[in-house]
Amino acid sequence: KAGVTQTPRYLIKTRGQQVTLSCSPISGHRSVSWYQQTPGQGLQFLFEYFSETQRNKGNFPGRFSGRQFSNSRSEMNVSTLELGDSALYLCASSLAQGPVNSPLHFGNGTRLTVT
Amino acid sequence: GIQVEQSPPDLILQEGANSTLRCNFSDSVNNLQWFHQNPWGQLINLFYIPSGTKQNGRLSATTVATERYSLLYISSSQTTDSGVYFCAALPRDDKIIFGKGTRLHILP
């Protein structure tokens, strides 16, 4: 079985631009969640989608948004990029709704640099 | 909100040594997971362990939910065990909280 696939692996953007990251879950997994990892704040939960609906959201501004498609693939969008948005963005999939119910499986991440 | 603390923050060991990593959480949790992040950034799920003890090869984990801690044991360490180990707690609101990690360096 293929693992969680995230594209692109690396991105360089300028302040004020917007960016879209993509995540394809493990086949059969219906839950996709997103995380931001920075040296200062560590790993932080962004949001979780299950069956095309956002089920949970972390404490991030509205510039961070996402969606999930009928095939469970998910996209994450960050608008009006700030320097502090530079981070490794990780996507995880799980079989059941919510990481409380089944193990998380992570992709390799997208490293975003904002200049 | 819930606090998740991991100790020690850093650990340097010789190949073949054993180690114990600890994860304390400040409130009741519905579940707990352990992950290993390798030097290339890949996060691998090690254990999904709300309570009790589980073993997988040289690794084992124990969660004592009533006392709000979990332990990860690594025996006969290998250089490939190097990386950062994270625990993640699942509180009632299901907003997963990660600890800051234990950075493990195994010397050959």
Q: What is the pLDDT of residues B25-53, one digit of tens each?
A: 999 888 999 999 998 889 999 999 999 99
A3 CB neighbours in chain B (<8 A) are: none
pLDDT of residue A62: 96
pLDDT of residue B40: 86
Dihedral angle over CA of B92, B96, B99, B102, nearest 10: 120
Tens digits of residue pLDDT in A64-79: 999 999 999 999 999 9
What mean pLDDT do residues B77-86 have? Answer: 96
Give the whole-angstrom CA distance, residue B91 versus residue A9: 31
Tens digits of residue pLDDT in B3-16: 999 999 999 999 99
- Report whether B92 contacts B28 (CB < 8 A): yes
How far away is chain A from the Cα of B33, in angstroms, using its nearest Cα?
A: 7
Dihedral angle over CA of A27, A28, A34, A35, nearest 10: -80
Q: For the purposes of burial, counting CB atoms within 10 Å of the CB of B66, is it exposed (0-12), middle (13-18) or buried (19 or more)?
A: exposed
- CB contact under 8 Å between B33 and A58, yes or no, is no
DSSP-derived letter for residue A72 is S
Those residues of chain B whose CB sits closer than 8 Å to some CB in chain A are: 30-31, 33, 35, 40-45, 48, 86, 88, 90, 93-101
Tens digits of residue pLDDT in A7-63: 999 999 999 999 999 999 999 999 999 999 999 999 999 999 999 999 999 999 999
A98 has pLDDT over 80: no
Gap between the terminal Cα atoms of chain A? 37
B8 preceded by cis ω (within 30°)?
A: yes
pLDDT of residue A99: 67
Percent of chain B whose predicted confidence (pLDDT) is above 90: 83
B93 has pLDDT over 80: no
pLDDT of residue A85: 98
A100 has pLDDT over 90: no
- Report whether B44 contacts B56 (CB < 8 A): no
Mean of all residue pLDDT scores within chain A: 94
